[in-house]
Chains A and B, each alone.
Chain A
Amino acid sequence: MSNLFPKSANKLPLQILIFIGLTTGIVLAGVTYYATPKYTRVGYAPTQPVPFSHALHAGQLGMDCRYCHSNVEKSGHSNVPTAQTCMNCHNQIKVDSPLLAPVRESYASGNPVPWAKIHQAPDYVYFNHAVHVARGVSCVSCHGQINEMEVVHHAKPLSMGWCLECHREPEKFIRDPKLVTNLDWKHPGGDAGQLEQGKKFVHDWNVQPPQSCSGCHR
């Protein structure tokens, strides 16, 4: 009965504890890194029925976002354009392009083009585009540099914590409402200039972004 366990077994409990500790740490790190919209949503870039390029239309041609998303200043919902909006130009430009066939079909039949929705807040979030745009929150703040994207991808996490970053410190983000659709604009005075102007806007317009639950949820 002398040597049932070898001597090395004395260290085993400690080794097992260290191993369990390490594994727990790795699992926690993994959950922190992956179980967040920063991983699950950012980068989502579905293939659309028409390979519409924002980089061409909004970037190269310099068209204003509101040419297509025309209700963004009036409605809580920023609309996806009608096929007629596309046909304003594409009844003369690239009229035979097979890539535009779904748009022509939609214009003729009245059935919508089945665009894939990329940015999708949960249904219990009542986000209102019009109020944000009216108070100088630029498109770029939530959607990223759309004017440089060939294929639009989800650029910001749109998580609640991320919303609150701005609701707590709006002066860091809001700008002159005339510049909301200028996605390349940055305050010429840098961060300090933005902060100074932002504080002035927050004061002058009495901006009080809600931080209570019912501000966005109901």
Chain B
Amino acid sequence: MRYAYLTLLFVVVSAVSVLGFRGSLTQRTPLEVFPDMDRQPKYKPQAESAFFADGRSDRPTPAGAVAFGRTSLAGEPKFLAADDHFYRGMNADGKPARGYPSEITVDAKLLERGELKYTIYCAPCHGAVGDGNGITKQYGMGATPTYHDDRLRGTPEGDLYNTITVGKGNMLSYADKLEPADRWAVVAYVRALQRAQVGTPADVAPAFKSELGLK
């Protein structure tokens, strides 16, 4: 009987030493003892495909494809992204447009949206106040221009929009991260940042003056 217990002990010790404990880091693919249709022959986003030559389940848009179903009415600005001002920041003559397209209402809600998107996508390089001193500068990012000079204060809104959309210099396009409406929100927020730098005590609303120690 003693041998039986010793054998049992040996089996337990060797099993634990092979299997380890819960939560220990491992490179091994998780074991699926009963597959139970866990992995089905269907395509999920950003997954692999054995069928297509490039091995991707996500198919790139074929050349010349046109987005369908933005709106049912041809002639509406949203139809096939026809509105140059809203979708490209351009006037009909192909020059950057001044002001905001008619779809955009500049209000506190838009600025809040702009602040959120700016903080996520722009602040790492352009800095929280738009001075070009984002965190990436300490890691070797080249000179990121400040928004607070006359050139960028005077540039049309459509130009800022266009920079977000297609990039400029070393900055790549952010069109995949920011939808058109969000790009306009960021433009509005950048304008707010610029305005904040040239503010004077006279701009402060009376209700907040005592809080800031102003008369």
Interface on chain B toward A: helix, strand, loop, or mixed SS?
A: loop
Question: Which residues in A have their C-beta under 8 angstroms from that of B38?
Answer: 122-124
CB-CB nearest in chain A for B15: A30
- Of the residues B12, B19, B23, B170, contact of A43 by C-beta under 8 Å: B23
A143 interface residue (CB < 8 Å to B): no
Chain A, Cβ-Cβ closest to B179? A74
With A33-B22, A61-B135, A122-B38: A93-B141 Cβ-Cβ less than 8 Å: yes
Taking CB atoms, residues of chain B closer than 8 Å to A46 are 27, 29
A47 to B1 Cα, complex, angstroms: 47
Docked CA distance A38–B20 (Å): 13
Given contacts A38-B22, A92-B142, contact A87 B27 (CB under 8 A): no
**Residues A94 and B140 in contact in the complex (CB < 8 Å), given A44-B30, A122-B36:** yes
Chain A residues whose CB sits within 8 angstroms of the CB of B40 once the complex forms: 123-124
Closest to B121 in A: A67
- Decide if A91 touches B170 in the complex (CB within 8 Å): yes
- State which of A34, A41, A93 has its C-beta within 8 Å of the C-beta of B136: A93
Residues of B within 8 A of A124 (CB): 37-38, 40
- For residues 105 through 151 of chain A, which have their beta carbon under 8 Å from a beta carbon of chain B? 110-112, 120, 122-124, 151
Point out the residue from B22, B39, B140, B177 that lies within 8 Å of A92, measured CB to CB.
B140
State the interface size on chain B (CB cutoff 8 A).
50
- Contact check, B44 vs A47: say whether CB atoms are below 8 A apart: no
Distance of A168 Cα from B19 Cα, bound (Å): 33
Q: Which of A78-86, A191-199, A202-210 contacts B (4 or more CB under 8 A)?
A: A78-86
Q: Contacts A19-B4, A61-B135, A67-B120: A89 and B26 contacting too (C-beta < 8 A)?
A: no
Residue-wise, chain B 1-33 has the 8 Å CB interface mask toward A (1 for contact) of: 100110010001001000100111111111111
Contact status A34-B19, CB under 8 Å:
yes
Per the bound structure, the CA–CA distance linking A15 and B1 in Å amounts to: 8
**Alpha-carbon gap, A44 to B140, bound state (A):** 33
List the B residue with the shortest CB-CB distance to A47: B27
- Residues of B near any A CB (own CB < 8 A): 1, 4-5, 8, 12, 15, 19, 22-33, 36-40, 42, 44-46, 54-56, 60, 116, 119-121, 124-125, 135-136, 139-142, 170-173, 176-177
The 28 sampled A-B contact pairs (Cβ below 8 Å) are A19-B4, A19-B5, A26-B12, A30-B15, A35-B33, A40-B30, A40-B32, A42-B22, A43-B25, A45-B25, A61-B135, A63-B124, A67-B177, A75-B45, A77-B46, A80-B46, A84-B173, A87-B172, A88-B171, A91-B170, A92-B170, A93-B140, A93-B141, A111-B54, A112-B46, A122-B36, A124-B37, A154-B30
